[in-house]
Structure 1
Amino acid sequence: MMAPRKCSGCRERAVRPEVLDVYRAEIEHDGRKYTVEVPCLAVLKCQACGELVLDDDADERVIDALREAAGLLKPAEIRLHRKELKLTQEQLAGLLSIAESTLSRWETGTQIQQRSMDRMLRAFFEVPELRKFFGAPEHTWRGEAEIVYQDEFQLTRSEHMGFWSAAKQPVVHCLPERTVKVSATGQEGMAA
């Protein structure tokens, strides 16, 4: 067992690892407060004053819960949709008039996008006419999409681009580690 650490709050040597059944916090993001709950969260807790210290893993789980509560795209979703459109970070950032480093931070999870930019990202990914209006390369709005799925992030069709069905665009079938091309006519072609 690890020797207790010194608490930065009360200065007592009483900080020990603990697993909380449910961690609850009210977090402000983009001018709104969100209540987040994270089950079974491993933290460091001062046994004297009750102060909590979150390590990187715990912090990441809390931020994921915040994204969920705020209804924001997750970093892997942003990266996946960009790759589906065959755009580099530099290209997408230029089209959205943001810094490439900002987009990189959104895709790695080191920064949470504002709600307005989340809506812009969703619209950009969902609406081919918007991509055309913004001057995106023709392949991004011509009715073809190339979907590349990696082990790190797999989605079901309803979670992924389900909005294509609603917009009477081609439906893309999600298959792990396989590229599927679907044209506007619904013809499916395979690529390795």
Structure 2
Amino acid sequence: MTETSSICPVCESGALQPHRYSDTFQHQGKSLVVDDLEGYLCAECGADPVFEDQIRRNHARISDARREADGLLTGEQIRRLREHLGLRQRDASALFGGGANAFSKYERGEVIQSVAMDRLLRLVGRYPALLQELASPPAESLGSVAPKPGEYVGGDPVRLQGPARHGQAQRADGFVVVSLAKWTKDRAA
């Protein structure tokens, strides 16, 4: 809203004053209170319009409240992490995936990142050397032999400990190949 449009669009005579408020939303079956939402309040008729720029900022606040409730990084945390890694938004999108404008949308609260993306961001934030792995073509990061569909290949920097066990094959290059279902079952046991 600009200074020239401070007249109420409802009664067309009252002056609009900036207004901050809280609202409650349902998220994952629970009530989620979001504070510091923006709007205007007409002193004459009590109307409370919310204009386009405020809607965008409110949406970002609501998205961040949902992220926090789900244990995900907020838009601001993603921006700080990206900047800490020395990446521009388009570079981060190219390395992490998610589309050409993904990081811009994550940071503005337009899109909430997946749990998998959140975990990847946290790992790279903790271990920045992983950026080099993300920048490598897939064939380089797995060695010369890519896994068959449904197989887990553990090798540098991820190596299954010890010699191959029943149902596993250890190749000459040191990689251990197991089915993803078996690896998951063994890990749970």
Instruction: Give TM class, smaller chain.
Output: 0.3 to 0.5
* Structure with greater Cα Rg: 2
The structure carrying a bigger strand percent of its residues is: 1
